[in-house]
Structure 1
Amino acid sequence: MQELVCQIFNPERRNIMKGVILCAGKGTRIQPFSSSLPKTLLPVANQPILNDCIMKMKKAGITEIGIVMNPGQKEIINYISFIHKDLKIQYIYQTEQLGIAHALSQAESFISNDSFILMLGDNIILEPLETLIQAFKGNKGAILLSEVKNGSDFGIAEIKNHQVISLEEKPKHPKSNLAVIGMYIFDGSIFDAIRNISLSKRGEYEITDAIQWMINQDYPISYSITKEPFSDVGTIGRWLAANEWVLSKMLGDKVQVGSNTILENCTLEGPVLIGNNCILKNAKIGPYISIQDDSSLINCMVEHSILLKNTKIMNVSPLLSNSIFGFNTKLIGINEEIRNLQFILGSFSQIKNSSDFNEEGK
């Protein structure tokens, strides 16, 4: 497989693929966290979601990537320029959020005549790109599909003789259980398709409509079906669920602790991922916990949760479960007899027992 990938992506070949990652969505369903940070930079297993897309492309040999983003998302540029200095990145702005196909259309000049891989920056997909690359050979497009139970929540594909024969976005009565899950390969024909579709009932230019236009023009669209997990990290619930399966795949039931982190009198039940420069004392942690750098957990119990950088949880007696703590949040001195507390706290939130407030906090 490695030898085959090298043949496909040999930089001396003219048909080397580019990559496009769509990041311009506002993330309204995952607020308050998307109010302070672009949704694609929210962490799963302590790494930004966007990083998963970029690393997949790098592993497939793609070094030229277009990032479609909102002009106000400067944090994306700062992150990529700091972490991925070896890539050739072009930032492409979408000033109106009019759907996936509209976002992709902004990248036409970047793509030129090349075939390219398209990924959604808020999706985590375990399936490697090489699977879809194989399916694309000899076709005008290829899409990754997965069997789902709730077909009405996805774009649904109907297949026959190794080709996609119809697509429908969020149908009331799905024709199959095969969902389009956010990984595609196209040649330049997709841009002709986008120019020939209209706004959907949702007020968006749907990528499924564009692919259906290609099918109607007898352009062959192939597919690959993955059995691997995937997540559209578009809601609080999906974010927590994605964090759990990624931790499980990454660590099994193990515990990973970063550098300069102090553990005293703690019980850790994996999978648990702890960042650098953290302090954990008299705490029961896990399972399914990711804790970012510079956090402190003292006299508390936390499971099935996500803690962003510099979270402070101190002297909290009830079990905390299925919670997300934003950057620089503080939860201090909660001793009431309550079971299984859940907190969804945006960045810089503070919840304290009134007796713990100092003069500055009053």
Structure 2
Amino acid sequence: MKGLILAAGRGSRLLPVSATRPKHALPIAGVPIIRRAVHALREAGVHDIGIVTSASSEADLRDATLGSGHLTFIRQAEALGTGDAVLCARDFLENQDTLLYLGDNLFEDSLRPVALGLPGTDAVIGVKQVSNPQAYGVAVVDKGQLRRLVEKPRHPESNLAACGVFAFAPQVLDHLAELAPSERGEIEFPMALTSVLAAGGRVRAVEFKGFWSDAGAPADLLSANAFFLSRLASRTEGRGNGNTTSGPVVIEAGAVVEDSILRGPVWIGPHATVRGSTLGPNVSVGPHARVNGATVSASLIDEFAHILHPSRPLRHAVIGRHAVVTAPSDAGLQLVIGDRSVVRL
């Protein structure tokens, strides 16, 4: 079985943090989303993995997956939908069964049941009960079999969302190749499953019970960050002095943490510096970041960011790379806000 991760998009709902790199390269509890995707496929027993990229995303994704073993990068020339992305990888798939992963998803559960559910059917779809199915592609399932998919219905027939992972046999690519573009002008992979059903084929549904996020918006990033932080075990490889800690706290090699209160779960990345601050719960501090004299909770601070004596606590904050958050000067409040930024004062 081949593995295929779709990661060509940048993620407009995550602007501005996705303005300079694809959302799949963003860190969740210190690990890039794309690296978590690769790990999920390998844990499911799939080791020959392709990643569909764009010209603007490939370099960042290569950097984010360093150390993840052999990967094949496949270029999608235009953003013409998930179905087109799969068709771009047709030569790589070599007429084999495929485990397909939409690259901005994050799962607690193993993907093995999806991969192992393929024999005897045309395709398998992962589904998850959600409280707001109208925001997703909704799967109507009967006795473990998919009956139909409806994209963002006003009046959902079920509360099962299609959650971004599929397995499919080679013949599904023939259905995909015959699809016309959707109203958005894109070829969507789930439409191929509708075509399979219309032709009398079978699609099995596998329901996930654990945590799932599609990391599409800042709130999703923070909830995923909190979940994966909660799974950490305390570990100190950096240097700490005069700190008070509770709960799981990880201080990576090269980090310096002094005179601070750490309420886990907290992750402090390599070569970060934290002094005189209160962090947590649910805070990650990226590599080489500096946090001085700050109170931060439920937040994601990326690499090389500087949080220096802000006048207010930070909560539910997403701070991008090289960003600076500090106290007002004598001249008063200063804001330098880029396109699509969000500030609540």
Separation (CA, whole Å) in 2 of partners of 1:164 and 1:319 = 47
State the SS of the aligned residue for 2:154.
coil
State the SS of the aligned residue for 1:34.
coil
8 Å CA contact retained: 2:44, 2:115: no
Report what 1:35 is aligned to. Answer: 19
Q: Which of the numbers 73, 82, 87 marks the counterpart of 1:91?
A: 73
Letter aligned with residue 103 of structure 2:
G
8 Å CA contact retained: 1:22, 1:68: yes
Give the CA deviation at 1:317.
Answer: 3.0
Separation (CA, whole Å) in 2 of partners of 1:334 and 1:269 = 27
Listed as ranges, the gaps of 5+ residues in structure 2 are 235-246
Please give the TM-score of this superposition, normalised by the length of structure 2.
0.88
For 1:186-265, list aligned pairs within 5 A: 186-251=168-233, 253-265=247-259
Higher helix share: 1
Give the CA deviation at 1:251.
Answer: 4.9
1:59 aligns with 2:65: no
Give the CA deviation at 1:46.
Answer: 1.0
Give the CA deviation at 1:213.
Answer: 0.4
Letter aligned with residue 310 of structure 1:
F
Letter aligned with residue 35 of structure 1:
A
Report what 1:159 is aligned to. Answer: 141
Report what 1:288 is aligned to. Answer: 282
Separation (CA, whole Å) in 2 of partners of 1:297 and 1:78 = 25
Identity %: 29
Separation (CA, whole Å) in 2 of partners of 1:325 and 1:79 = 18
For 1:90-109, list aligned pairs within 5 A: 90-109=72-91
Give the CA deviation at 1:68.
Answer: 0.8
8 Å CA contact retained: 1:26, 1:38: yes
Letter aligned with residue 122 of structure 1:
D
For 1:320-359, list aligned pairs within 5 A: 320-334=314-328
8 Å CA contact retained: 2:294, 2:307: yes
Report what 1:315 is aligned to. Answer: 309
Separation (CA, whole Å) in 1 of partners of 2:313 and 2:163 = 35
8 Å CA contact retained: 2:253, 2:270: yes
Q: Which of the numbers 20, 24, 30 marks the counterpart of 1:46?
A: 30
Letter aligned with residue 32 of structure 2:
P
Give the CA deviation at 1:204.
Answer: 2.2
**Count of residue pairs the alignment pairs up:** 324
Report what 2:164 is aligned to. Answer: 182
Q: Indicate the RMSD between aligned Cα atoms, in angstroms.
A: 2.3
Separation (CA, whole Å) in 1 of partners of 2:316 and 2:133 = 26
8 Å CA contact retained: 1:299, 1:317: no
Report what 1:270 is aligned to. Answer: 264
8 Å CA contact retained: 1:168, 1:209: no
Listed as ranges, the gaps of 5+ residues in structure 1 are 1-16, 337-342, 352-362
1:72 aligns with 2:66: no
8 Å CA contact retained: 1:53, 1:119: yes
Q: Deviations over 1:53-81 (max 9, x none)?
A: 1011222332211111102222212333x
Separation (CA, whole Å) in 1 of partners of 2:151 and 2:87 = 19
Separation (CA, whole Å) in 2 of partners of 1:246 and 1:335 = 37
8 Å CA contact retained: 2:140, 2:158: yes
8 Å CA contact retained: 1:20, 1:117: yes
Q: Which of the numbers 278, 289, 298 marks the counterpart of 2:292?
A: 298
Separation (CA, whole Å) in 1 of partners of 2:258 and 2:42 = 39
Letter aligned with residue 91 of structure 2:
S
Give the CA deviation at 1:208.
Answer: 2.1
8 Å CA contact retained: 1:318, 1:334: no
Separation (CA, whole Å) in 1 of partners of 2:82 and 2:19 = 21
Q: Deviations over 1:276-314 (max 9, x none)?
A: 222211111111100011121111111111111112111
Separation (CA, whole Å) in 1 of partners of 2:172 and 2:18 = 30
Separation (CA, whole Å) in 2 of partners of 1:103 and 1:194 = 11
State the SS of the aligned residue for 1:33.
coil
1:111 aligns with 2:93: yes
1:247 to 1:335, Cα distance in 2 relative to 1, 3 A: farther
Please give the TM-score of this superposition, normalised by the length of structure 1.
0.84
State the SS of the aligned residue for 2:304.
coil
